[in-house]
Structure 1
Amino acid sequence: MTAAQDQSLAELNDCVRTMWKIRAEGTQQGLHMESIEELIESYLEALGCVAANPTSAGSRRKASEWRASGQLAIEIQEPPLIFRGGQSAVLPGVFRPTKRWDIVIRDGEFLVAAIEVKSQEAKEIGNNINNRIEESLGSAFDLKTALDDGLIPRRKKQRAAAGEGERWDPWIGYLFVLEDTGNDGEYDVHKPVALDSSLFPVGAAFTGNPSYADRYKLLCERLVKRKVYSETCFLMSSKEDGALVSQPCTSATFQGFVDSLTNHVKAYLADKQLPAAH
């Protein structure tokens, strides 16, 4: 592991610890996830071509400051803005009027990316895992339907590679943090969970009574495999002081998540600078 990767992992551990600490204090309205959201935002700002929206909760630099500092690596008149939390990150839907996302990146009238950042304590999981799964599916489906219905316009590509669509689809991400209680009896997220009886045979992946942790791992794998989300990230961590984050799914790591996001943003902006194809 490189020094940069070590630093990235250390920052991730710090952010997850902060998240659990704030959540324990009873902070409402999703504010407990701000440390992780800010970490994702820092990767975008480091590109030098995306700026925090000055009206977003917790934003650290105004777009004008980025332009004045000369840190915009790609010369654009107005950089895409990051909207995090609150009313500024609300997008229209089809099956409901609106949906409040956790992070939204907007380029003028176009949507560049939308991200969900969620967490769950072990004691909540039995009653809520199906709700969480359905929420993740519904949010992405509603957003894609809104795109298809023209409620959110797609920017036309200046250069579309063979086999690609002619317009940019937004990058849609899902990051989930599950409390890891180890083998703590009642709230052990690693123990097998019996299935409800089914009128038809369940899928092969569920026949061995997978644990709640395994079910979330499978969810994050399949959300990408089935093209529901562009990328997912599945993290597990104890609430104990000094606890380290584990990443049980090799295809849903934090580094892979932010690499996919930043690569999408760079490709979008690079294409934006090209002259239109004739």
Structure 2
Amino acid sequence: MTPPPDSGSENGLPSLDNLPPEIASAVQFYWETRSGQAEEQRASSNTARGRRAEVLGGGQMDGFAGLVEDLLVAEGVPRESIKHDYQATLPGFFRHEKEWDTAVVYDGKLLAAVEYKSQGSSFGNNLNNRAEEAIGSNTDLLEAYEEGVFAPSPQPFVGYLMLMADNERSREPVGLREPNFEADEEFQGASYARRAELLCLRMVRKRLVSGAAFLMSSQEEGLEGGYSEPNEELRFERFARELTSHVGGHVG
């Protein structure tokens, strides 16, 4: 587990070279919000998560949305170009529109679209729903780009981040229903945590997303900022560097 944060960024803008305290702060805000303990942070401007909650409204994953925004601003992206929620609504190809968690629209061009998802309980049904939503939404956005919906935009960075509760239920092997055909070998005996990791990893490798991050955190340790990153390819730092590099390369 990564240790809890010892301090926030002095100027409110995080550095890619010192991300663990910032990630820990976002994880901590998730658990504070989920457990009803976030009101104090929401009213405070003395911490990074307090400032971000005040701007974004304090949803459970807004600590990550605010961190992504601040990382982009630190790389020179105008803050007004970074949209969230309703303001991040984008047209699709198979459907008329979708409200993304974060979109970067600069100089009339779509540079990025990002989703932040959590899995705290009811892993079975919720994880299937998350997979269907992610695969469908990402396919829809990429098809819209290929059909010129966002012209003259470059191909946008499509990002996906998942934070999963780290507990006995998420880590125990899960049975499969196979009345007709056997499931993929990698799903045999896999836990919900492993299924979520495979979802993120396979979306990256099949280019349904440009980058993905997968984090786990127990409530007890998460309230102190503790988290883990089970897969090197899905570390938040890697995700953040790829996102900021892509967007920063088109701003200036």
TM (normalized to structure 2)? 0.81
User: CA shift at 1:52, angstroms?
Assistant: 1.3
Letter in 1 for 2:115: E
Aligned to 1:153: 151
Q: Distance in 2 between matches of 1:108 and 1:30?
A: 28
Q: Distance in 1 between matches of 2:35 and 2:144?
A: 36
- Deviations along 1:146-171, one digit per CA (max 9) or x if unpaired, are 1122222134xxxxxxxxxxxx2000
Aligned to 2:239: 257
The RMSD of aligned alpha carbons is: 2.2
- Deviations along 1:117-138, one digit per CA (max 9) or x if unpaired, are 11111x2212211111111101
- In structure 1, stretches of 5+ residues that fail to align are 54-80, 156-167, 274-278
Aligned to 1:212: 192
1:102-251 correspondence to structure 2 within 5 Å: 102-121=101-120, 123-155=121-153, 168-181=154-167, 183=168, 188-207=169-188, 209-240=189-220, 241-251=223-233
1:52-91 correspondence to structure 2 within 5 Å: 52-53=79-80, 81-85=81-85, 87-91=86-90
Aligned to 1:24: 35
Secondary structure at the counterpart of residue 111 of structure 1: strand
- Deviations along 1:64-111, one digit per CA (max 9) or x if unpaired, are xxxxxxxxxxxxxxxxx11122x2100011222210001100122210
Secondary structure at the counterpart of residue 248 of structure 2: helix
Aligned to 2:64: 36
Identity of aligned residues (%): 35
Q: Please say if residues 16 and 71 of structure 2, whose CA atoms lie closer than 8 Å, have aligned partners that are also in contact.
A: no
- Deviations along 1:198-218, one digit per CA (max 9) or x if unpaired, are 4223222123x1000001111
Letter in 2 for 1:245: Y
Q: Distance in 2 between matches of 1:210 and 1:142?
A: 29
Q: Please say if residues 119 and 177 of structure 1, whose CA atoms lie closer than 8 Å, have aligned partners that are also in contact.
A: yes
TM (normalized to structure 1)? 0.73
Task: Indicate the structure (1 or 2) with the bigger Cα radius of gyration.
Answer: 1
Instruction: Identify which of structures 1 and 2 has the higher relative contact order when contacts are C-alpha pairs closer than 8 Å and 6+ apart.
Output: 2
1:45 to 70, 73, 76: 73
Q: Distance in 1 between matches of 2:155 and 2:219?
A: 37
Q: Given the superposition, is the C-alpha separation of residues 35 and 25 from structure 1 closer, same or farther in structure 2, using an over 3 Å criterion? A: same
Letter in 2 for 1:250: E
Q: Please say if residues 163 and 215 of structure 2, whose CA atoms lie closer than 8 Å, have aligned partners that are also in contact.
A: yes
Q: Distance in 1 between matches of 2:187 and 2:234?
A: 20
Aligned to 2:46: none
Q: Distance in 1 between matches of 2:111 and 2:71?
A: 15
Secondary structure at the counterpart of residue 236 of structure 1: strand
Q: Given the superposition, is the C-alpha separation of residues 198 and 243 from structure 1 closer, same or farther in structure 2, using an over 3 Å criterion? A: farther
Report the more deviating stretch, 222-231 or 30-39.
Answer: 30-39
Q: Distance in 1 between matches of 2:246 and 2:93?
A: 25
Q: Distance in 1 between matches of 2:166 and 2:133?
A: 22
